[in-house]
A and B are shown apart, each in its own frame.
Chain A
């Protein structure tokens, strides 16, 4: 019994490593990033993707998920520097290009999301449609 309690206590006290800081992604306070990367969708928090992912995205803005999102060289390198500095830890394998394909994202959104909410959002990249506080870093609201 003692052992069981101990085990339960350990489980309760151990933060799930990948979940720990996920509910409140720090909102960005970089005005250039917020303006330029928040024009077509919300400015996704830099902490959602690792540095090598941001590098790939910033190096190919002319072919950005089916659109041209190009910027002048100076702005591009400014934003790239910022994102790389604030990025998530590296993951093994190919750098992911989408937050919405990350394993935790798929797991978190697989069952709990109603088809009505999905239809209204149009695309899973439209975080703010379901998470009203997304830009402020809150995702556990609904």
Chain B
């Protein structure tokens, strides 16, 4: 019995600590935006942001769907014809796992489409929508 206790304690520790750090790179990115936004995110608002034709951006890119197509599950296309892998996490497990990459493309694409940067709430809404897709 004694010996089991000795073995059990470290095993439990491993289980507990891995649970605490189980949050994936993707959920860490969402948490990062949640801390900045100070409110909960909505997949519905994220869908709106994705599908709406916006004014204020560059005329060549009125909507996120211009390149990402109307469904996040589809393969998209840049304006020069290069394929873009689907944005939906269910179709592309690599999506939204590198904060620097995510920030770079939010900055560029929000400026191109909306003519301004997206707010932390908009970014979180968008990611929440894509994670549910």
B85 to chain A, nearest CB (A): 12
Residues from chain A with Cβ under 8 Å of B109 in the complex: 68
Contact A67 B112 (CB under 8 A): yes
Contact B58 A40 (CB under 8 A): no
Q: Contacts A67-B108, A68-B109, A70-B107; is A41 near B80 (CB within 8 Å)?
A: yes
Interface of B is mostly: loop
Q: With a CB–CB cut-off of 8 A, which chain B residues contact A122?
A: 80-81
Let me know if A41 and B107 touch, CB within 8 A.
no
Residue A125 is within 8 A (CB to CB) of chain B in the complex: yes
A97–B71 alpha-carbon span in the complex (Å):
34
CA of A121 to CA of B79, assembled, Å: 11
Whole-angstrom distance between the alpha carbons of A69 and B61 in the complex?
Answer: 13
Inter-chain contact A41/B78, CB cutoff 8 Å = yes
Min CB gap B67→A, angstroms: 9
Assign chain B's interface to a size class.
10 to 19
Within the assembled complex, what's the spacing in Å between the Cα atoms of A79 and B100? 18
Q: How far is the CB of A31 from chain B (nearest CB, A)?
A: 15
Q: Contact partner of A66 among B61, B82, B104, CB < 8 A?
A: B61
CA of A134 to CA of B97, assembled, Å: 31
Nearest A residue (CB) for B104: A71
Q: Which residue of A lies closest to B59 (CB)?
A: A66
Q: For residues 22 through 72 of chain B, which have their beta carbon under 8 Å from a beta carbon of chain A?
A: 58-61
Roughly how many angstroms separate A108 CA and B80 CA in the complex, as a whole number? 20
Q: In chain A, what residue has the closest Cβ to B60? A: A66
With contact pairs A66-B58, A67-B58 given, residues A126 and B111 touching in the complex (Cβ less than 8 Å) = no
Q: In the complex, are the beta carbons of A69 and B80 less than 8 A apart?
A: no
- Do the beta carbons of B79 and A67 come within 8 Å of each other? yes
Q: Which residue of A lies closest to B108 (CB)?
A: A68
Contact residues, A47-68 vs B (CB, 8 A): 62, 66-68
B108 pairs with A69, CB closer than 8 A? yes
Q: Are A123 and B79 in contact (CB under 8 A)?
A: yes
The residue on B at minimum CB distance from A124 is B80
Residues of B within 8 A of A125 (CB): 80
- List 7 A-B pairs, minimum CB-CB distance, nearest first: A41-B80, A66-B60, A68-B111, A126-B81, A40-B78, A68-B108, A68-B112
